[in-house]
Amino acid sequence: MIRINLLPDEYRKKSRTPLKLMLTVTGLVAVNGLALAWLAFLHFGVQAEIESERAVLQTESEGLAAQIKYHKSLESEKKIYSLREQALSDVTQNRISWTRKVDELIDVVNQGIENDRHMVWFDDLIVQQTADTRTKSYGSLRAGGHSGSERFDQIANFLDDIEHSSFLSDFNRPAPPEGSQQQTDEDLRPSVVWSFPLQLTLKSPEERSGKAKPDDAAAGAKGGVKPGAKGGAKSTAENQADKQSDSPAAAEEKQQ
């Protein structure tokens, strides 16, 4: 049924919002406000904290950047000094004191004269030091020698003294003796002079420092004088001595 309120406006009952609806709306507004406030706090508060931590890390990074740069410069210097140290080590390993070698050679010559084993002198002394690992050539020593005796075996004595001296520690064994009679003059002393070449090859740096492997040492020995060369040297000297003993001058001396 339709109801019509015919009362005047001042006597009419005013309509109001229900209290439950009011409370519900108010609660929803309050919850939404709190949610918005919490989200705003999370956004701005966490962002501010992150920015603060970022600023601290940035400051630490800038402080470490100088140390990192200094560390890299030290690493670069370390590499440079390592290369220099390696170069100096190679030079030291390959270095030979030629002054000491000449002194040792002079000692061999003087001791031979004192012991009447040989009388030797040299016209020149040529030294060549290389480092060709491909051809395994490390240098050589060459000299034009003279023996002041008619006995050719004194050249073999000299080479034998060379082999048993400290002079040969940096060289391979010499070749068997060879030479030619250069002059015969009775007015000179000595009257007979034999000329012979002295040729020695340098050992490898590993062999000179004692760090060569057994295979390398064996290969170096094969590169020097073959086994039996010493015996061949003596036989050569004996043959030369036999030839001199058969010479007319030796025959005259025997007759006298």
Using the 3D structure, point to which of 95, 124, 148 is the last residue of a domain: 95
Q: Same domain for 219 and 204?
A: yes
Q: What is the pLDDT, as a whole number, of residue 150? A: 81
Residue 8 belongs to some domain of the structure: no
- Hunting for tokens 């520690």 — which residue is that? 169
Whether 38 maps to a domain, the answer reads no
Residue 113 sits in which domain range? 98-246
134 with 65, same domain: the answer is no
pLDDT on residue 237 = 42
pLDDT of residue 145: 92
Q: Are residues 90 and 102 in the same domain?
A: no
Please name the residue that has the structure tokens 């020593």.
141
Same domain, 200 and 127: yes
Nearest to 151 by CA among 197, 191, 105: 191
In this structure, are 123 and 78 located in the same domain?
A: no
pLDDT of 182 reads 73
Q: Tens-digit pLDDT profile for the chain (256 aa)?
A: 677 767 777 766 666 667 788 888 888 899 989 998 888 888 788 888 888 888 888 888 888 888 899 999 999 999 999 999 888 877 776 778 889 999 999 999 999 988 888 889 999 999 988 877 777 788 899 999 988 888 888 999 999 999 999 999 889 998 888 888 876 666 766 778 889 999 999 888 888 877 665 444 444 444 444 333 333 334 444 444 444 444 444 444 433 3
Please state, in angstroms and rounded to a whole number, the distance separating the CA atoms of residues 124 and 145: 8
Verify that 104 and 224 share a domain, yes or no.
yes
Q: What's the confidence (pLDDT) of residue 143?
A: 92
Q: What token pair was written down for 42? A: 């999370």
Examine the domain organization and report whether 107 and 210 are in the same domain.
Answer: yes
Do 207 and 90 fall within a single domain? no
Number of independent structural domains in the chain: 2
With contact defined as beta carbons under 8 Å apart, do 152 and 223 qualify?
no
| Same domain assignment for residues 90 and 213 | no
CA distance 184 to 194: 9
Contact 122, 108 (CB under 8 A): no
